[in-house]
Amino acid sequence: MTQLWAPDESRIQSSNLHAFIQSVNDVTAQELTDFHSLYDWSLSDRYAFWDSLATFVDIQFHSAPSAVCNHDQMPGAKWFPDSTLNYAEHMLRHSKNAERTTEDALIFRREDGQRITLSYGELVKAVAAAQAGLKVLGVSKGDRVAAFMPNCPETLIMMLATTALGAVWSSCSPDFGIQGVLDRFGQITPKVLLSIDGYFYGGKPIQCLEKVQSIQAQIPSIEQTVIVPFLGSDADISSLTSSSLYDDFIVPDRNTPEFVAVDFNHPLFIMYSSGTTGAPKCIIHGHGGTLLQHLKELSLHTDVKPEDTLFYFSTCGWMMWNWLASSLALGATVVLYDGSPFHPEPRSLMDIAEEEGITVFGTSAKYIAALEKAGVKPVESHSLPKLKTILSTGSPLLHESFDYVYRDIKKDLCLSSISGGTDIISCFALGCPALPVIRGELQCRGLGMDVQFVNPEGKPLLKEKGELTCQSSFPSMPIGFWNDPENKKYHKAYFNQFPGVWAHGDFGELTVNKGVIIHGRADAVLNPGGVRIGTAEIYRQVEKVEEVLESVAIGQEWEGDVRVILFVKLRDGIILDDALISEIKKTIRANTTPRHVPAVVLQTPDIPRTISGKIVELAVRDVVHDKPIANTDALANPEALDYFRKRPELQD
């Protein structure tokens, strides 16, 4: 165990977490002293915890709940029954605060240098204007609005305008292929489509209107399309049907949007599974559960306050975009970025962090590893006095990336590796401003989330690897899946393996420090000789090798057993030879076990990933075994799979 950072007493005492503990003690006569005692209480008296949280983060119910929870089971639990509220109303409540109305709500940065700001006062008017436009189009409670959009102000404005009406928002980024969009939006029959004429990535403009035309033609439920001229003001939309430009769609000079009171579990967002094993699941998340869970994570686990400036490198197709947007409810400033994180150079996002005074910087584990590989050392090149937290998710954060952050970015900050998923639009394991950071570990489990790692029989494990489960219900469980009226697909996705227990599909362990280590996806676990190995255990060692940029490991069926195959993407100009293979294997063997050492190491020009950047180990495994891939449109680079087909080195 290596402790890399610990908060001083002043940071602990000034945290939202400390204030919450004090409020719980005052109201309930508990004697909670720290995070761990609070966590234990949040499980032993879950109803009191969630009720206390709703009060602490000031959830504004239009109709009060009749209980905290009914039918406390999974699936089927009903949290805060009979209550009504509105998600968007909470996001815009600080526009009524005279001290906040002129403060920045949004800062938008684009890779070409464009910068736009909106104050809370300007944001609420922009939402009102967009909502009035939606009303003209006949959008009302329960209708779906789909967004094929980059991470720009209009996307966030339209999300708030939609959800304020009680309509349902769903979005994906414009780098999706046509079939990927149809697989998602085609299932939910949207009434309105929001899109752009194109976007910028890596210094190049990428046109989108032909895609929009195809989407219109193949989703007949779309009655109207609104186009944001992202590339410039001269967008030609004459080829599109029933379409208007954004400025013609909005109804200006509106001051306040309407906030429709909806049930706690009324649909808010429709999110999508990756879709790499079939048509994406359309996961429905509700107003109340999403709001309460996000504010718990932002306020207590991330310590977000009105004076904070938050950034998360994300597209609108990843749940971290929704999570970031929810910080508006705490009065913080949200920084939106669209474009390549390495354009015009690898330090670009660090430049923005410095220029905007970002206090909470969120990104992916892949980005942090790539930043180190690019030789960026912000501790030498940037001034980041306000940066207090770095968040990382998307895949397990390498131990060496922990070292890099504290050595080359900043020593005094809380590095929080977090893990959850689109399935719960939140996290099972997170950070905590009042806990130390241990190298390679996620700091803690989420408050109110009874997270246990279990063996195949469902028995909880400590310091042993197992399946990540949640043993009790929680408010941000999905309402269900779209077009799954009897919840058969929903039940199969999470509750088939352990009845009444949420099985998330991750493979990891609970540590003696009460932290968490995620070793990868359970369905991608390698099993040579019957020993279960998480792929992250191998990646961690491989990426110590200077010549390797990234890698993917799979298990190949071989002679009645399973052997480990490792594919590596190397730096430009480097060829995999016997000496480098030997170094890779030696590094793995020295730091793990002989079972981890791959039987075969091959060089690949690219690693296939989903649109959100996750390595698709299962797709690689299926290709190697000559099995069909259900949906390559879910991939950002489907052509990368071609390399893995029928490799002679992998044949009998």
Domains of the chain: 525-650 (3.30.300.30)
The answer to whether the beta carbons of residues 141 and 165 sit under 8 Å apart is yes
- pLDDT reported for residue 259: 98
Place of tokens 């989420």: 446
pLDDT score, position 429: 98
Element (H, E) at 104: strand 104-110
Kind plus residue range of the DSSP H or E element containing 334: strand 333-338
| Token pair of 400 as six digits | 């060496």
pLDDT for 61 equals 98
Nearest to 415 by CA among 400, 428, 405: 405
For the chain, how many residues are written?
652
Q: Report the C-alpha gap between 645 and 626 in whole angstroms.
A: 7
Neighbours of 11 (CB within 10 A): 16
- 229 with 245: CB under 8 angstroms? yes
* Contact (Cβ atoms closer than 8 angstroms) between residue 150 and residue 316: yes
Report the alpha-carbon distance of residue 281 to residue 275 in Å, rounded. 7
Name the residue among 570, 533, 567 with its Cα closest to residue 551: 567
pLDDT at 645: 87
- 105 φ/ψ angles, rounded to the nearest 5 degrees: -95, -45
Sheet holding 192-196, edge to edge: 243-245, 224-228, 192-196, 144-148, 168-172, 267-272, 282-286, 480-481
Reading the block at residue 133, the tokens are 């436009």
Low-confidence spans in the chain with pLDDT less than 50? none
Angle at the Cα of 568 from the Cα atoms of 564 and 571, rounded to 5 degrees: 165
Report the C-alpha gap between 398 and 91 in whole angstroms.
34
pLDDT at 132: 98
Residue 600: its pLDDT value, please? Answer: 93
Q: How many CB atoms lie within 10 A of CB 33?
A: 10
Q: Which helix (H) or strand (E) is 3 found in, with range? A: strand 3-5
- φ and ψ at 510, to 5 degrees? -95, 130
Nearest residue to 151 via CA among 16, 317, 363, 31: 317
Strand, coil or helix: 204: strand
| Model confidence pTM above 0.75 | yes
Query: Going by DSSP bridges, is the β-strand pair 69-70/78-79 parallel, antiparallel, or unpaired?
Result: antiparallel
Q: Which helix (H) or strand (E) holds 535?
A: helix 535-542
615-618's contacts with Cβ under 8 Å and 24+ in sequence apart are 615/395, 615/550, 615/552, 616/274, 616/276, 617/520, 617/521, 617/524, 617/535, 617/552, 617/553, 617/554, 618/276, 618/277, 618/521, 618/523, 618/524
CA–CA gap between residue 151 and residue 173 (Å, rounded): 8
Burial of 244 (0-12, 13-18, 19+ CB in 10 A): middle
Task: Output the pLDDT for position 30.
Answer: 95
User: CA 66, CA 70: separation in Å to the nearest integer?
Assistant: 9
